[in-house]
Amino acid sequence: MPTETILGKNLNALKSKYLKDIILNHNITAKIEVKNTNGYNLAYNGILFHNAASPLGEAKAIYETMDTSLNSINIIYGIGLGYLFQYTAINSKGIVILYETNLDILKTAFTFVDFSNELVKNNVFVTTDKESLNEILRNNMGYDNFPAVSCLPSYKKIFEDDIAKEQKELAVLIGGITLDCNYTKNKYYPVTTSILKNIPYIANQIPLCNIRDCYKDIPAVVVSAGPTLHENIQTLKKYQNNAIIICVGPAYKSLVQAGVKPDFLCVIEDRNCTAQIRGLDISDVNMILEPYTNINFQKMQPKKHFLHISNNLPPNSIWAKISGVNIDEYNSKGTVSYCALNSARILGCNPIILVGQDLAYIDKQLYSKDSIYGDLKLVFNDETKQYEVIAEDMERYAAAISSINVAQRRLARYKGKITTIKSITGELLPTEAVYTTFAANISKYTTRYPGKKYINTSMKGAQLDGFENMPLDKALENSTPVNKQDFSSLTFDKNDFIISQLKEIKNSFNTAVNKINANQKLLSRFKTEYKRGKSLTKDMLTTLKKIISNYTWLSIEYGQENQVYDFITKKEQMIFETFLKKAENIDLPAALKIAELQSEYLNQALEKISAVNEIIDNDITMLKGEIE
């Protein structure tokens, strides 16, 4: 069998040069044999990968259980000798991803079976690691195509422990991307308008990087509201003058009540969660906010406002452009604790010490007992045999979170999402699935920014690789009093530049409105043509083609020029493009649906442009000082 020729063809067909190189340079060490039973089979340490009676029949049977429509995404975990992967790649209309982490098996299969015709297809991908799998999924997932994972029965036997771990990690990965897709669809418009409405208040707020390294080599304590916070409060009170204390919103009440005064209070939520600090004095604390943080926080009068402009959230690029501020250093992962950690690094602090960052539910507590969310408890339901989250005092929790409806939605969010995470002692602790992702992200932070000492003082919580586990009193025992700086004289004034950028955005909308009006006329023509014959004519198809062409220009070319437009119409874009992707043939029902969705897109675009223009007009008026 011309093995080198087959391997070469497969490698040449791969889309990834990186993957091609690692397969080519890999030396097989495992005992893998190609056998001929009823068709070729592969044996790994003596165990057959495929059904001995009918390897292809087994693949077909698994394929029949899959959704292989145009909008589907199927992850084939493990290649074996490739029967399932090849059959799926040939027949599926949707995305097919081969995920094989064992390079011995992958190279063996690529050596003996020619997959080159399948590998060159635009809907077929191959990966060996989570990073590239994440990239492939993010490029192909939408808000309504949840990936499915299929695996040969043999893999579950041969790699039992690995499979269990992979299933959990894949669920977290896919769940995270799904959340991001839904966030893009449902939150881009409100977050973008939040940023725009906040402009009169954030225009003079100091970008945090403007005070970079102001506390160089001074200890920082980043305080979160995990269950172990209350165990560290008194130690924190003892050493509060010996470190810079950066506190997240839910932990502020606990600190203040214990007599601990944070130096910085970090809040990033776009919803109104001012209940976190209701009735508490903030006049002597510096606030670190995001451009999109709820306007009620922007209007407050703390000691000083600072902006952390997270570069992972695309709408923040709007403020970067409007203000002319570079946001490269503002790395975040969408959580307030991560924002606080990154703030400590920007300030130059070293070591950076975490308090209350448990990322696990300890002694049935989700948050510190004294925190604003201390009513949340973890209970085990004997009937469902599952963990559930309840509020001991629902009325108090509802008041803390915002309202009864928000509280109920938050509690429902936990349903079916309780998993486990490894503690610093090696035992498994109950936690929320999203916390496992956060634990991985926060661990990677230490490798991304080496050269500092990172300490985790939660001696009961999740293991955070890259952090030294150490009680708080030991972490601060050799610390000395810190000279706390006064930032009151700092200023940031770019009002004229900001006004000019806002006017530019508003003027740019005229181009979009003209194209939208043109498309509405085309839609009107399409509807008139349909009424004449109630059938799909050549003229209707020609008109539809022009409508889609105009839409493509608006959503891509113009959207790149005017990011505000791109973000405020993202929901309608996703809905429209998802349908286009599903439509295999443009028959009459599909054509009518395209027209309907395009009409909705255009109407919403005009409404949102009008709303944004009104916000911009108000911003300019306030920035000019014409109203209070």
Interval 559-582: pLDDT, tens? 999 999 999 999 999 999 989 887
What does the pLDDT look like over 210-247, one tens digit per residue?
Answer: 999 999 999 999 999 999 999 999 999 999 999 999 99
Read off the pLDDT of each residue in 441-457 and give the average, rounded to a whole number: 93
Q: Which two tokens stand for residue 429?
A: 């602790």
Distance (Å) of CA 157 to CA 49, 163, 244, 280: 10, 9, 52, 58
Q: How much is the pLDDT for 430?
A: 85
Q: How much is the pLDDT for 24?
A: 92
* Helix or strand run (H / E) with residue 622: helix 588-623
Give the integer Cα–Cα distance in Å for 384 and 578: 36
Q: How much is the pLDDT for 4?
A: 61
Mean pLDDT, the chain, rounded, equals 91
Q: Is the pLDDT of residue 174 over 60?
A: yes
Q: How much is the pLDDT for 248?
A: 96
Q: How much is the pLDDT for 137?
A: 92
Read off the pLDDT of each residue in 73-101 and give the average, rounded to a whole number: 94
Give the integer Cα–Cα distance in Å for 415 and 432: 10
What does the pLDDT look like over 386-405, one tens digit per residue?
Answer: 778 888 888 888 887 778 88
**254, HSE (Cβ side, Cα atoms, 13 Å):** 28
Give the integer Cα–Cα distance in Å for 126 and 96: 9
Type of residue numbered 36: N
Give the integer Cα–Cα distance in Å for 289 and 266: 6
Residues 6+ apart with CB under 8 A from 272: 294, 296, 402
Q: For residue 576, how far is the Cα from the chain centroid? A: 22
* Helix or strand run (H / E) with residue 41: strand 39-44
* Helix or strand run (H / E) with residue 95: strand 95-99
Helix (H, G, I), strand (E, B) or coil at 203: coil
| 3-state secondary structure labels for all residues of 414-440 | CCCCEEEEEECCCCEEEEEHHHHHHHH
Read off the pLDDT of each residue in 253-259 and give the average, rounded to a whole number: 94
What does the pLDDT look like over 350-370, one tens digit per residue?
Answer: 999 999 999 988 888 878 877
Type of residue numbered 46: G
Q: At what angle do helices 17-24 and 3-13 cross, to 10 degrees?
A: 160
Pairing of strands 264-267, 244-248: parallel
Distance (Å) of CA 588 to CA 71, 576, 606: 20, 17, 27
Assess whether the previous peptide bond of 147 is cis (omega < 30° from 0). Answer: no
Give the integer Cα–Cα distance in Å for 147 and 178: 10
Q: How much is the pLDDT for 3?
A: 47
**CATH fold of 3-179:** Rossmann fold (3.40.50)
By percentage, how much of the chain surpasses pLDDT 70?
99
Q: Is the pLDDT of residue 291 over 90?
A: yes
Give the integer Cα–Cα distance in Å for 285 and 437: 31
Q: Which two tokens stand for residue 166?
A: 């992979």
User: DSSP alpha helices (H): ranges in 478-537?
Assistant: 495-533
Residues 6+ apart with CB under 8 A from 208: 288, 306, 307, 308, 330, 343, 346, 347
Q: How much is the pLDDT for 410?
A: 77
Q: Is the pLDDT of residue 628 over 50?
A: no
* Helix or strand run (H / E) with residue 581: helix 570-582
Helix (H, G, I), strand (E, B) or coil at 212: coil
Residue listed under structure tokens 């309780």: 418
Residues in the chain: 628
Of the candidates 236, 299, 298, the one whose C-alpha atom is nearest the C-alpha of residue 267 is 298
Q: How much is the pLDDT for 212?
A: 97
Of the candidates 49, 46, 350, the one whose C-alpha atom is nearest the C-alpha of residue 219 is 350
Q: Which two tokens stand for residue 199?
A: 């402009």
Read off the pLDDT of each residue in 512-524 and give the average, rounded to a whole number: 97
Q: How much is the pLDDT for 420?
A: 84
Helix, strand, coil shares of the chain, percent, nearest 5, are 50, 15, 35
Q: How much is the pLDDT for 626?
A: 55
Q: Is the pLDDT of residue 464 over 80?
A: yes
